[in-house]
Chain A
Amino acid sequence: MDAPKTSDAETRETAWASAMRAGLAGDSAAYRGLLVAITPHLRAIVRRGLAGTGNADAEDVVQEVLLAIHLKRHTWMTDQPFTPWLNAIARHKTIDMLRKRGRRGEYSIDGLEDVLPAPMESEGQSHNELERLVGRLDGRSHDIVSAISLEGKTIGDVAKAQGMSEGAVRVALHRGLKKLAALYRDPS
């Protein structure tokens, strides 16, 4: 299940675990670096999980996994290995996606249409789900999440532009992210 115990995997584990510890302690640069570093790993797990059903939704799942990792980061016990925790979340969300599709009765056939032209979708691009869900956030959360993600603004920038305190921006951002996770669960 987990990566074989090569020294590579061990090095990686050590690096990720210490970046996560730093992130939990408030080092947001280390945290961001970690999220970037784990993304290809998550993508591989998700694609493997969805293999055979067409990878059309893979990047959606990767994004949902990242969101879950962020919102559930306090469930990593810092004295435990990091990679298995990460893998468990990726598998959980992948299985969720398979279940959702199963419920919608979407298996096999319509996957084929997506498989053939698939490579034109660039890595890290998900054109629909996340964007659609961000679009469903209410006014202020929507503006703040978009400004920080799409426009690359900092919390300070947004606070100035919106005439809010930085604390209020932080709260709205956090609520927005939690709301996004809820929308992934129940997109009705």
Chain B
Amino acid sequence: MKTDDLIAALAADDTPPRMPLRRTLASALALSVVLAALVWAMMLGPRPDFMTAMHTVRFVFKFVVALALAASAAAVLFPMALPLGRRSALRPLLWLAPGLLLAAVIAELATLPASVWMKVWMGHNAVVCMLSIPTIAAIPLAVMLFALREGAPARPARTGAIAGLVAGGIGAFFYAAHCFDDSPLFVATWYTIAIAFVSGAGALVGSRVLRW
């Protein structure tokens, strides 16, 4: 078949182009948050002393760091979904959440006596944490990968990994409201493992479904 013949078929296909990718991804992100909230509300819900806990810095910090991760990863995700795979100027933002966490860990170690480090590090429910975050994050990850299929990411696996960070950040945000363990030592370890797992899953699935 000649290339000109193909061009004739392409030009005849006047199906309107999809909506701009930016809007598709923004909608997917919004939908992800709503669905994550639903899963969280049905499975876990807030911890009983939520309102009191909101007055403690450690508790609030968990939301700050989760939000920082989800928002920075979402900002980096958009340009990655384009064929140019431009390095986003926003990319250094990805260091924001790890940086905050590191600072919080240092502050925690400086303020808490060494005798309780182990106790707050292990917390009450590390296993629940590592299971809950991926569970809440699963649907958001699926929604975002589905939306990213509309794009043309230059690097499918990497794009999937970043989508996993967004989903993991959303999962961590909601799980944080349920979780009794507020020490940055706990968060830096178990939340991180859970989010890394979600990101790895995003890379694995992305390397398959985001090829174009």
Contacts and interface: CB of A to CB of B under 8 A. Distances in A.
A and B co-occur in one complex: yes
Interface stretch (B42-50, B82-90, B103-111): B82-90
B15 interface: yes
A92 B154 CA distance: 7
Given A174-B13, A177-B13, A77 B82 contact: yes
A149 B3 CA distance: 9
B1 A73 contact: no
Contacts of B10: 32, 35, 66-67, 70, 177
Interface residues of A, number: 47
A28 B11 contact: yes
B8 A152 contact: yes
A109 interface: no
Given A68-B152, A89-B83, A173 B13 contact: yes
Given A26-B16, A73-B17, A155-B12, A66 B85 contact: no
Interface in B1-43: 1-22
Contacts, number: 111
A75 B152 contact: yes
Interface in A127-182: 127, 130-131, 134, 145, 148-150, 152, 154-155, 170-171, 173-174, 177, 181
Interface in B59-110: 81-85
Secondary structure class of chain A's binding surface, majority of residues = helix
Contacts of B83: 72, 75, 85, 88-89, 92
B13 A124 contact: no
B164 interface: no
Given A88-B83, A185-B211, A66 B152 contact: no
A89 B12 CA distance: 21
B151 interface: yes
24 contacts: A24-B17, A28-B14, A32-B7, A36-B4, A62-B3, A63-B1, A63-B3, A63-B6, A74-B21, A75-B151, A88-B154, A89-B83, A126-B2, A126-B3, A131-B1, A134-B1, A148-B12, A149-B9, A150-B1, A150-B5, A152-B5, A155-B12, A170-B15, A173-B13
Interface of A: 24, 26, 28-29, 31-32, 35-36, 39, 59, 62-63, 66-68, 70, 72-75, 77, 84-85, 88-89, 92, 124-127, 130-131, 134, 145, 148-150, 152, 154-155, 170-171, 173-174, 177, 181, 185
